[in-house]
Amino acid sequence: MIFIKRILVILILFISIVLITAYFMPKEYSVEREMTINKPADSIFKYVRSLKNQNEFSVWANMDPKMKVHYRGIDGMIGSVSSWESDVKEVGVGEQEITKITENRRLDFALRFKKPMDDTAVGFMSTEPISENQTKVKWGISGAIPYPTNIMLPLLRMDQMIGNDLQKGLENLKDKMEKK
């Protein structure tokens, strides 16, 4: 009986330490990458504001050639939605909706993931002219992981995990834009 009580006390202490630690850990993440592209800002912005075009340079969209994609609304306008379904775990099921457009500067969107996890995030793409024929393009995603699962945030290394995909997507975008 003493053995079971000690196991229970140890278990309760362990769970308490985890919950207390999670309470003080960050719950939000934000990942950004940027790249200079040798094209005018307006032509890049016109291209990236289209959800259909985003699927051409996005790493996630290219992971599954059999992915089903559906579009609602007027592409490139506030309220337009791109939804996807894939059996590939890294792609899953979800949708992206354009929520705000600052003409020739910034595109904000909501990301709603349904599988393999139910989650939401927000993202943006921005264009900033450096010169007449050079543009700094930024791509960012941010979100929150609820308590107490936020204790996993440092282990997930979101900056590396998402950041590598954003970087590769920007490289794909650079290749596409500079070949035009």
Calculate mean pLDDT across residues 72-85: 94
SS3 state at 90: coil
How far apart CA 71 and CA 87 sit, in angstroms, is 19
Residue 155 is predicted with a pLDDT of 66
Tell me the pTM. Answer: 0.82
Tallying the residues shown for the chain, one arrives at 180
Q: What is the pLDDT of residue 124?
A: 97
Give the chain's mean pLDDT. 89
Confidence of residue 67 (pLDDT cuts 50, 70, 90): confident
Contact between 99 and 78 under an 8 Å Cβ cutoff? The reply is yes
pLDDT of residue 180: 67
CA dihedral 55, 58, 64, 70 (to 10 degrees): -30
Q: What's the token pair of residue 112? A: 């709603």
Distance CA 93, CA 71 (A): 14
